[in-house]
A and B are shown apart, each in its own frame.
Chain A
Amino acid sequence: MASVSVIDELKKAQILELLEQGKRVDGRALDETREMTIEINAIPKANGSARVHLGDTDVLCGVKIQPDKPFPDVGDKGMFMCTAELLPLSHPTVETGPPRDDVIELARVVDRGIRESHMVDVSDLVIEKDKSVVGVFADVVAIDYDGNYFDACSYAATAALLNSKTPTWEMVDDQPTVVEGGDKPLPVSTIPVSVTMGKIGNYIVVDPNGDEWESMDSRITITTDSDGNIVALQKGGSDGFTQEEINQCGELSVKVGAKIREQLKSAQEESQ
């Protein structure tokens, strides 16, 4: 994300030298993710929330669920929206004002990963057809940076949605009104997990940290669902991947994704 940071040439050379020996600067294996902590319900007043630390990358997602007007020709579907924003306190190079193209890409990739998995079924979210529907908003904010916002934001959004409770509404005098005692968990059908891999020289590393992110030539983010299917994918950066590398990344995303999925499930179960 800190694309305007100046790459430390010495550091990049050291990273490559270690990779040639099959090692990474922080001692991880090439297909190993960093230690992750998930704080469920970090914002109790929101409908659902989760704060994720992936190494020193720190992101927070809050979910708000509230009635809304449906889109003009889609009166039988509710709304789901996922946004991501870099807070200026996360890194000295983050500016205020309209988001840069790399931040817009981050937000759209995180949104697609969840949307394409159909984790939240928008046809479930109708109060009265054509009049009133439910909007589910998952807003992710990045608080501290050490590489790989894509995955940290994805995990925070997924964990927050898994944790979300939604009121039940009924129409009273043409207004959506909360039904007392009608709170229930937000229905979700799958647990999407994104895995981002960076290419440094000829090496593929999973979950690049800040230094690796600055040194990598290109990256790929692949999202899988609970059935092990690949539901979303984004390649970024200025270099190319070979077909073998793309296939390798696909396999890694399923394997590593499964491990992360277990962590997300445990975090949710422990919070009950």
Chain B
Amino acid sequence: MGGRDATMVLLDENGIRCDGRKIDEPRKIMIKAGGLKNADGSAYIEFGDNKILVGVFGPRDVHPKHMSNTDTGILRVRYHMEPFSVGERKRPAPSRREIEISKVIKEALEPAVMLDKFPRTAVDVFIEVLQADGGTRCAALTAASVALADAGIPMRDMVAAIASGKVADTIILDVNNEEDQAGQADMPVGYMPSLKKITLLQLDGVLSPEEYKKCVDVGVKGCEVVYELQKKALHDKYFGNRGD
């Protein structure tokens, strides 16, 4: 979680956070479905200063063949940050953090995607973080879900994500980079809004049992807000924003 910066005021006496937001206010979010010419499906998200692009290929043949499954298609996820996306330049090779996040995002999408009708194939999700500012895994999962829908991969539900957390003993929604570094807890939440199931959940920090329940609740409600923007992105592309 990083060291504490005693000089940063994370929550002032008016309940305003270090970037001017209220405690239940998410950063500005923009989601676009499509955009890439060669990928089967794609999406782009801006979540605060996070800029993340996702491309999906599949279902397609699996190479090497021994990795394929005769009963169902498999889902593969690669979360990757560009060298220029973070404060200090990151070397191109995958870090342990990227590998863990790839796995966590894959397992957050698996409950939603339905690949049993595509045996011996794979669906590849490629996540590229162009600029990072705290909460990239939630923004990435959110965009990945839109990219999968854009590719026509059958899914039981969308998966929306946002991180809740705690600063100055207060539960907040959408933890930014400073709050992640200097705050007291950070809880990324991934949620299927129609089926009402949590598919991504991690925690960094210290929460009492009461705070824990509140934090989960704030996260779930935040995911419902994010879901509306995923819906808008797909409606804008496919339905000319005409809705029903």
A residues neighboring B (CB under 8 Å): 42-46, 49, 56, 58, 60-64, 66, 83, 85, 87-92, 96, 135, 137, 139, 141, 143-146
Contacts and interface: CB of A to CB of B under 8 A. Distances in A.
Nearest to B88: A66
A146 B89 contact: no
B60 interface: yes
Contacts of B49: 44-45
A88 B124 contact: yes
A89 B54 contact: yes
Given A44-B131, A89-B55, A141-B128, A64 B36 contact: no
Given A89-B42, A89-B54, A144 B36 contact: yes
Contact of A89 (B36, B51, B60): B36
Given A90-B38, A139-B84, A141-B82, 12 more contacts: A43-B51, A43-B130, A44-B131, A58-B36, A62-B85, A87-B80, A91-B38, A92-B38, A137-B84, A143-B36, A143-B53, A143-B128
B131 A43 contact: yes
B48 to A, nearest CB: 11
17 contacts: A62-B83, A64-B88, A83-B92, A85-B92, A87-B55, A87-B126, A88-B126, A89-B38, A89-B42, A89-B126, A91-B38, A92-B39, A96-B78, A137-B83, A137-B84, A143-B36, A145-B38
Contacts of B37: 56, 144, 146
Nearest to A139: B83
Given A43-B130, A43-B131, A63 B84 contact: yes
Nearest to A137: B89
A141 B80 CA distance: 12
A145 B42 CA distance: 14
Nearest to B42: A89
Interface residues of B, number: 28
Contacts of B53: 89, 143
Contacts of A66: 88-89
Contact of B38 (A49, A141, A144): A144
A139 B39 contact: no
B78 A64 contact: no
Contacts of B85: 43, 62
A44 B51 CA distance: 11
B84 A62 contact: yes
A143 B124 CA distance: 16
B216 to A, nearest CB: 31
Nearest to A56: B37
Interface in B18-36: 36
A184 to B, nearest CB: 19
Contacts of A89: 36, 38-39, 42, 53-55, 57, 126, 128
Contacts of B51: 43
A87 B60 CA distance: 18
B133 interface: yes
A123 to B, nearest CB: 22
A91 B38 CA distance: 5
